[in-house]
A and B are shown apart, each in its own frame.
Chain A
Amino acid sequence: MENSFEENFLQALSRVPEMPECYENVMRRIRKRNATMRTLWAAAASLLIAATSVLYLELSKNQAVPMEVVEELQSIQSHVNGEDIHQELVSYSLVSEEIYK
């Protein structure tokens, strides 16, 4: 390739049409993408909250009360209703139960 041709070839390559105005399009597309991202995040957050709520409700519906708590509640109920008075009299009496018979 002759030098003059090489120079001309490169000069021709460097000659490009005037750059079209792109800035407004860039900003418009950025705003659009941001809005899309916000919508997606909001949708994802809503889904997460909904799923967590459903899971929590399901768990609290199926959860069994532990045996110790049941027993404790039953003893409180007996105490409040006075059902255990006889038992207590027996437990704390100084004389034998036989006396009452």
Chain B
Amino acid sequence: MKELDEITIRRAAKKDQQAFRQVYDYYSLFVWKVIFRTVNGDTEAAKEVVQETFIRVYTSLGSFGFNSALSTWIYRIAYNTANTYLSKKKSKRLVDGLDVDLLVDGKTKENYENKEIVEALLSAVSPEERFLLMGREVEGISFEELARITGKSSEALRTLMSRLKARLRATYDNLNQKK
């Protein structure tokens, strides 16, 4: 991800509101996408987490040391904020926001009871795994960056991701056999 210029970031760190608005406009959509899936499609929860994330960004940007990309730093805040939010709320798994039609290709439409399959697949995925899935597979964040965000090693994340995919595959195969 191409980062915002350093001058703007430094101005935002000094509480320049115009510069902060630029930081918000630049990074909020990425945060929204990842967080929306992490909180399992709960729009209100995602809104709350995104807002809290940017409040923390505003108050702590002065301590950002340019040791990593700003996006990594913001994702880390978003990840921690979502974890705190979910542990407080014990969020119910929702699939309302998922575009299930995309899961259906013409040939196999009969086989997939789409919503059930998607629900079953998502129920096998924890919020943290969803964050990783979104970050890695959808947003294309490198394992090294994900390691900095989550505080885990990149090797551990690689293993976790391959196990996650295997689990999704197994769940999908199971469901297909039952049909």
- Residues in chain A within 8 A of chain B (CB atoms): 1, 4-6, 8-17, 19-20, 22-23, 25-27, 29-30, 33
Contact = CB atoms under 8 A, between A and B. Distances in A.
Given A1-B169, A30-B59, A13 B37 contact: yes
Contacts of B54: 22-23, 26
B105 A17 contact: no
A27 B17 contact: yes
12 contacts: A5-B103, A6-B169, A8-B102, A8-B104, A10-B137, A12-B98, A15-B99, A16-B33, A22-B47, A22-B51, A29-B51, A30-B58
Contacts of A13: 37, 98, 133-134, 137-138
A33 B10 CA distance: 22
Contacts of A29: 51, 55
> What is the interface of chain A mostly: helix, strand, loop, or mixed?
helix
Say whether chain B's binding surface is mostly helix, strand, loop, or mixed: helix
A69 to B, nearest CB: 53
Contacts, number: 79
B21 A12 contact: no
A33 B59 CA distance: 10
A33 B36 CA distance: 25
B64 interface: no
B100 interface: yes
Contact of B97 (A10, A16, A25): A16
Given A10-B138, A15-B102, A5 B58 contact: no
B29 A19 contact: yes
Contacts of B149: none
B85 interface: no
Contact of A1 (B21, B118, B165): B165
